[in-house]
Chains A and B, each alone.
Chain A
């Protein structure tokens, strides 16, 4: 490898010295290199730019978001663009805006780009162009990175530099590499006859071309159904074959599964309108073309047993043995819609970019901190980072990875620039409030449920706490190292979850009593709801490793579910706030209630230790004095005792007392007849 690099350098930099000396000066250097100007690359660039970092994005196309210029082929995005929610809270509204990237610029909200609930992909292309240009992001277009390798250097941030080579053999050197290339290499299956198969990338999108044809579609994802939806009305019939059963997103609660907008074929299948779904392993498949150009389905098994290459007639078809074989009818077209995978080809072996295991093999292996397992300092962003929460949360989609990208940026700021994770310190009296505020509006928690969590770090004696937003829970054990914040006296983790056994391809999500209403049954909540975990100590690596695979976090010291809410509005005083406050009080053994100044006054005289609300408010001259109106109101509600009404003359003579007085007083109106030995005990008080 080295000689080649040298030769290239000579050519490029007119380097005239000795042969074969790789010089750092020959590389264009940046602290951060981002590969790909898609949504996640631009999002990362936005944060790097705001933080004033030295970065560049390499984009092979002439414009950002080149994937969206082609895909989806039928141009309808399935990410929702909800323009009205009845609320003005911008953070809350992001929960229902799946297309916008995060920025301070309010012009860059997607609802300004499309009025459609499911927008056209061209709108996304326009949006990404505007995002890059309005924010003046540094994108180097027409630069395809074709090779990435490492250069060891003790001085480097991560012990090595990343050396990038583009299609023109220009070299770049970076301290940190952010891979935002997405997954764009089509998945292909090789079987005898696969040459007759058309790919989703190139298949015609004009329904007329399918008129009166019989079509077989390989794959069962959104692209397969999207293709079917387009030609459903003009074909003779469509069959769809794939290895696994169909997974409906409204049953799995995973947005990557089949969305209702694309599922027209399910309708026609179940209503016996000739279309159909089949399960089978594509690896066992074989396709044979007959003389008329029709495609016949057979099994690889039959072809292997065939003696010579006779014609189509010599090939055994399944229907020869099983005359009611399901796909015995010949097809006019076979279309492959099998999705995409990550491009592993550009990385040098030394980077050890390994594919994931099982159904995650289309993604590179990364840690829950989005850092590559093989190479320190290489972070994978965007769709390619979906292995962290594949088939669980939204990390593979814009509305999810815009938050994980921000989290990665925060990790980088701490690691490389000593800027700790942003946090706010509040007095403990604001504990309930700050949680309620976040669970009601936070979008990152909501979209990236069970992946990103808010962390509350308690200060000593639980008088104050520090609030960290949207930290990746997978690296909770490394919190102190990753954020630069200390967790000396316990922490709360606020996360959102669906019910444990609610989601799944085969689950009935419409069963009676699927939703609970009462706070005491909150733990049985099925729909997305906030859960608060309490740890006395930060969980260790070991505890994180040993946690139950279905749980986002290891066993806490205490856990609280806020009951699911039909309106996702968790501000009900009795059902949401009160149980939460009780939980927090129990965890902290403190009193988090709010008191009127008058009560604090009484406590100041009668108690050694005041509740925090009195201590931090009233005793610092910020008590809730209120007004006469408020006082009266509180007395009516039984919150304050009305001392003005008490007639004290009556109190001294118990005989006058006819039970009409305040019952609290009665405790103290017993005639005094001291028992000698009891009085002696007074010294003990």
Chain B
């Protein structure tokens, strides 16, 4: 057993300890305290130090002192030491003697004083670091007017690039970030800084409320008359972002790739940015290259662009996480996609506020749902709780006991438990049926005994003897009707013709009239061969099936097959039945009920051909809204409805769209299908060759 609570307590007390010891802690390690003699004796040539002279801590300097202590660590990283010099009482030398000198900090390089700062200019760590850097390193040029800027720019053309930063005020965190970046990159790029809002406006950025950083590509500029090309940094000015931006600017504009794109690694991918692959053919290489460069300029700083040789790959699109395969009709499309994506990401970053790089979508979702579920109690009163002790006796007491075996920590179990409570609601007051549950986490013995190997499992026990395992969809309706049907003896023996007719009409037995949709009646006679009668949806149609097969399994198979409609409406519930036929789908997506004409034409198409090589079906987008998701995945733009689509699930997953200008008639469809077969039609949308569902898709995981 671990001791997180102890740890919590201990960290709390540790916190207390820290709070009480902050003023001494920092100084002990980083801020040296020296006497004037020691200090001036220790100054080395070329090494910079920031000194503060003090007789004793005067109360007014206290906040400043704290800031200086805090900045010691940051400055130390750059080799600048921070020293507090304790002046002896009687000392009246230059730095210790004057009262107002004590309100200042001094910056030395070697033993040369560079500058004295009034303490109020050094209001926090950022300002201290920024100011010190500004003085020590004159890599950063300060400009006030557009002319100044242009002069520098012109001088740099063809030689090196320029980083132009605007900060609304000196001494801010942004200022510090720029100065620190200049310290690192100052030898590579020319850094230019301004605080003049008008200057930024003049360069074409009207929003002057926040700091901004532009990278000016002067090195490759050839035209002296034109200003250098600029790439603005989209993110906030932090050291990390600037570093990233400069890294990206340094990367080649377009990477040429001839290998598997999954294996490519560029700066962009390393920084978590998307990489756009553009497919190229030998014949169009020049044009492709130009396109790629065009796109690359647009996406500079947001995404990388790679030019991919044709034979290496079949698809092209935007890679990154997740990978999206797209057909590009327009370079703008790529740009918009990437830009939208980065916007979205930024929004998410804002939402998440801090850290947690690893935490991604499903973790968040997971979280949400769990916390929500924990707080929302399910109404479980209707459902009997069974334990190891009560299980067997409870089964004997009830004619029909439905038992849900579940684990209280398992996601799917909890989702099913929710449906189960709704079933219990529906069946409230139904005699002879009792709903109960066993939590296998509490009572593993019962679950093992009852052969429950999966969570969740539903079994129906009849008088504690026979049990049937439920193996249908985990839905409220499906479950309810299964339980209701289980109340009728199976097979049900019919004594009279009236009963048989009533049964086929769905009126007998009466308690089931509202539940079952399909009735199957076996007709057995010595004279004729045995047969079944199949009645659909309350006896609206009755078909006869001759029993040609004797094997039970074949019979079940045959009945299953017969249960399928010839022109079904595809729903979430019945899709798998039709997919089992392993045939392509000819499917009409309809907004609402299918139109009479379409329906008639489609029926005509199927009726004449009993052994169809495809499944003709339709989908009601009102009833099955996820169909919209399917269309969205197939087409970049929403097609006009109704739309007829050919999907070959099993051979390559190609999708063809029936031309919208043609009307959906039997003849038109047939000739279109001929063309499909002959390979004359072009698949009208993107491939569905993705092997796995994208790793972090936004869609639908249950994890409660």
The interface of chain A, by Cβ under 8 A from chain B, is 87-91, 424, 426-427, 430, 433, 436-437, 440-441, 512-515, 517, 520, 525-529, 564-568, 571, 573-574, 577-578, 590-591, 593-599, 601-611, 618-627, 629-630, 633-634, 636-644, 646, 648, 651-652, 663-675, 677-682, 684-685
- B238: interface (CB < 8 Å): no
Report yes or no: B703 in contact with A594, Cβ–Cβ below 8 A: yes
CB distance from A530 to the nearest CB of B (A): 13
- B33: interface (CB < 8 Å): no
B576's partner among A90, A571, A598, A619 (CB-CB below 8 A) is A619
| Cβ contacts A to B, 10 pairs, < 8 Å | A515-B7, A520-B358, A594-B703, A604-B579, A608-B688, A625-B573, A627-B475, A672-B330, A677-B281, A685-B314
Report yes or no: A630 in contact with B699, Cβ–Cβ below 8 A: no
Q: Known contacts A594-B701, A606-B634, A670-B330: does B407 contact A433 (CB below 8 Å)?
A: yes
B407's partner among A437, A515, A625, A629 (CB-CB below 8 A) is A437
Residue of A nearest to B362 (CB): A593
Query: How far is it, in angstroms, between the C-alpha of A90 and the C-alpha of B388 when the chains are bound?
Result: 10
Contact indicator per residue, chain B 383-420, by CB within 8 Å of chain A (1) or not (0): 00001100000000000000000010111100110110
Report yes or no: B418 in contact with A629, Cβ–Cβ below 8 A: yes
CB distance from B343 to the nearest CB of A (A): 9
Report yes or no: B454 in contact with A427, Cβ–Cβ below 8 A: yes
Q: Which of B52-60, B437-445, B493-501, B666-674 contacts A (4 or more CB under 8 A)?
A: B437-445
Report yes or no: A623 in contact with B572, Cβ–Cβ below 8 A: yes
Report yes or no: B693 in contact with A591, Cβ–Cβ below 8 A: yes
Q: Known contacts A637-B369, A665-B632: does B2 contact A525 (CB below 8 Å)?
A: yes
List residues of chain B with CB within 8 A of the CB of A664.
632, 698
Contact indicator per residue, chain B 541-577, by CB within 8 Å of chain A (1) or not (0): 0000000000000000000000000000000110111
- B3: interface (CB < 8 Å): yes
Report yes or no: B370 in contact with A514, Cβ–Cβ below 8 A: no
Query: How far is it, in angstroms, between the C-alpha of A338 and the C-alpha of B280 when the chains are bound?
Result: 83
Report yes or no: B2 in contact with A564, Cβ–Cβ below 8 A: yes
- B329: interface (CB < 8 Å): yes
List residues of chain B with CB within 8 A of the CB of A594.
411-412, 701-703
A666's partner among B340, B641, B653 (CB-CB below 8 A) is B340
Report yes or no: B369 in contact with A639, Cβ–Cβ below 8 A: yes
Report yes or no: B699 in contact with A599, Cβ–Cβ below 8 A: yes
List residues of chain B with CB within 8 A of the CB of A529.
2
Report yes or no: B337 in contact with A667, Cβ–Cβ below 8 A: yes
CB distance from A615 to the nearest CB of B (A): 10
CB distance from B597 to the nearest CB of A (A): 22
A608's partner among B5, B337, B629, B689 (CB-CB below 8 A) is B689
Query: How far is it, in angstroms, between the C-alpha of A648 and the C-alpha of B638 when the chains are bound?
Result: 7
CB distance from B328 to the nearest CB of A (A): 5
Residue of B nearest to A567 (CB): B1
A595's partner among B11, B365, B701 (CB-CB below 8 A) is B701
- B683: interface (CB < 8 Å): yes
B637's partner among A90, A91, A593, A672 (CB-CB below 8 A) is A672
Report yes or no: A672 in contact with B7, Cβ–Cβ below 8 A: no
Report yes or no: A593 in contact with B629, Cβ–Cβ below 8 A: no
Report yes or no: B474 in contact with A625, Cβ–Cβ below 8 A: yes
Q: Known contacts A441-B444, A593-B362, A652-B638: does B419 contact A670 (CB below 8 Å)?
A: no
Query: How far is it, in angstroms, between the C-alpha of A625 and the C-alpha of B480 when the chains are bound?
Result: 13
Report yes or no: A641 in contact with B332, Cβ–Cβ below 8 A: no
B368's partner among A638, A642, A679 (CB-CB below 8 A) is A638
Report yes or no: B310 in contact with A669, Cβ–Cβ below 8 A: no
B372's partner among A620, A637, A674 (CB-CB below 8 A) is A637
List residues of chain A with CB within 8 A of the CB of B695.
591
Residue of A nearest to B629 (CB): A602
Report yes or no: A626 in contact with B474, Cβ–Cβ below 8 A: yes
Report yes or no: B443 in contact with A89, Cβ–Cβ below 8 A: yes
- B100: interface (CB < 8 Å): no
- Chain B interface residue bracket vs A: 35 or more
List residues of chain A with CB within 8 A of the CB of B337.
667, 670
Report yes or no: A675 in contact with B328, Cβ–Cβ below 8 A: yes
Report yes or no: A677 in contact with B633, Cβ–Cβ below 8 A: no
Report yes or no: B576 in contact with A621, Cβ–Cβ below 8 A: yes
- B432: interface (CB < 8 Å): no
Report yes or no: B636 in contact with A646, Cβ–Cβ below 8 A: no
Report yes or no: A622 in contact with B362, Cβ–Cβ below 8 A: no
Residue of A nearest to B361 (CB): A638
Query: How far is it, in angstroms, between the C-alpha of A131 and the C-alpha of B626 when the chains are bound?
Result: 61
Query: How far is it, in angstroms, between the C-alpha of A565 and the C-alpha of B3 when the chains are bound?
Result: 8
B365's partner among A87, A607, A620, A639 (CB-CB below 8 A) is A639
Query: How far is it, in angstroms, between the C-alpha of A441 and the C-alpha of B443 when the chains are bound?
Result: 11
CB distance from B472 to the nearest CB of A (A): 6
Report yes or no: A623 in contact with B473, Cβ–Cβ below 8 A: yes
Query: How far is it, in angstroms, between the C-alpha of A590 and the C-alpha of B5 when the chains are bound?
Result: 37
Query: How far is it, in angstroms, between the C-alpha of A675 and the C-alpha of B328 when the chains are bound?
Result: 8
List residues of chain A with CB within 8 A of the CB of B442.
87-89
Query: How far is it, in angstroms, between the C-alpha of A430 and the C-alpha of B452 when the chains are bound?
Result: 12
Query: How far is it, in angstroms, between the C-alpha of A424 and the C-alpha of B416 when the chains are bound?
Result: 24
Q: Which of B138-146, B283-291, B502-510, B607-615 contacts A (4 or more CB under 8 A)?
A: B283-291
A681's partner among B281, B453, B478, B688 (CB-CB below 8 A) is B281
Residue of A nearest to B10 (CB): A512
List residues of chain A with CB within 8 A of the CB of B349.
none
- B468: interface (CB < 8 Å): no
- B137: interface (CB < 8 Å): no
Report yes or no: B365 in contact with A637, Cβ–Cβ below 8 A: yes
Query: How far is it, in angstroms, between the C-alpha of A433 and the C-alpha of B576 when the chains are bound?
Result: 25
B633's partner among A436, A526, A605, A669 (CB-CB below 8 A) is A605
Which of A89, A602, A636 has the most CB atoms of chain B within a 10 A radius of its CB?
A: A602
In B289-332, which residues have CB < 8 Å from any A CB? Answer: 291, 310, 313-316, 324, 327-332
Report yes or no: A624 in contact with B637, Cβ–Cβ below 8 A: no
A607's partner among B330, B579, B693 (CB-CB below 8 A) is B693
Q: Known contacts A566-B5, A609-B691, A637-B369: does B626 contact A622 (CB below 8 Å)?
A: no
- B658: interface (CB < 8 Å): no
Query: How far is it, in angstroms, between the C-alpha of A305 and the C-alpha of B57 when the chains are bound?
Result: 74
List residues of chain B with CB within 8 A of the CB of A525.
2
B419's partner among A605, A626, A651 (CB-CB below 8 A) is A626
Given contacts A441-B444, A602-B700, 6 further A-B contacts (CB under 8 A): A566-B2, A596-B702, A669-B636, A673-B330, A679-B329, A681-B279
Residue of A nearest to B699 (CB): A599
- B687: interface (CB < 8 Å): yes
Q: Known contacts A591-B692, A672-B329, A681-B281: does B6 contact A515 (CB below 8 Å)?
A: yes
Residue of B nearest to A511 (CB): B10
CB distance from A120 to the nearest CB of B (A): 27
The 7 closest A-B pairs by CB, nearest first: A625-B475, A599-B700, A571-B409, A643-B625, A594-B702, A515-B2, A627-B476
Residue of B nearest to A624 (CB): B474
List residues of chain B with CB within 8 A of the CB of A643.
625-629
CB distance from A446 to the nearest CB of B (A): 11
Query: How far is it, in angstroms, between the C-alpha of A630 and the C-alpha of B344 when the chains are bound?
Result: 27
Q: Known contacts A91-B444, A594-B412, A623-B576: does B279 contact A602 (CB below 8 Å)?
A: no
Query: How far is it, in angstroms, between the C-alpha of A618 and the C-alpha of B453 when the chains are bound?
Result: 18
List residues of chain B with CB within 8 A of the CB of A621.
471-473, 576-577
- B686: interface (CB < 8 Å): yes
Which of A590, A591, A627, A685 has the most CB atoms of chain B within a 10 A radius of its CB?
A: A685
CB distance from B636 to the nearest CB of A (A): 4
Query: How far is it, in angstroms, between the C-alpha of A604 and the C-alpha of B585 when the chains are bound?
Result: 12
Report yes or no: A630 in contact with B419, Cβ–Cβ below 8 A: yes
Query: How far is it, in angstroms, between the C-alpha of A387 and the C-alpha of B103 when the chains are bound?
Result: 74
Residue of A nearest to B647 (CB): A605
Query: How far is it, in angstroms, between the C-alpha of A466 and the C-alpha of B333 when the chains are bound?
Result: 49
List residues of chain B with CB within 8 A of the CB of A441.
441, 444
Report yes or no: A674 in contact with B475, Cβ–Cβ below 8 A: no
- B187: interface (CB < 8 Å): no
Which of A596, A636, A679 has the most CB atoms of chain B within a 10 A radius of its CB?
A: A596
List residues of chain A with CB within 8 A of the CB of B310.
681, 684
Report yes or no: A602 in contact with B340, Cβ–Cβ below 8 A: no
Residue of A nearest to B572 (CB): A601
Query: How far is it, in angstroms, between the C-alpha of A665 and the C-alpha of B633 when the chains are bound?
Result: 10
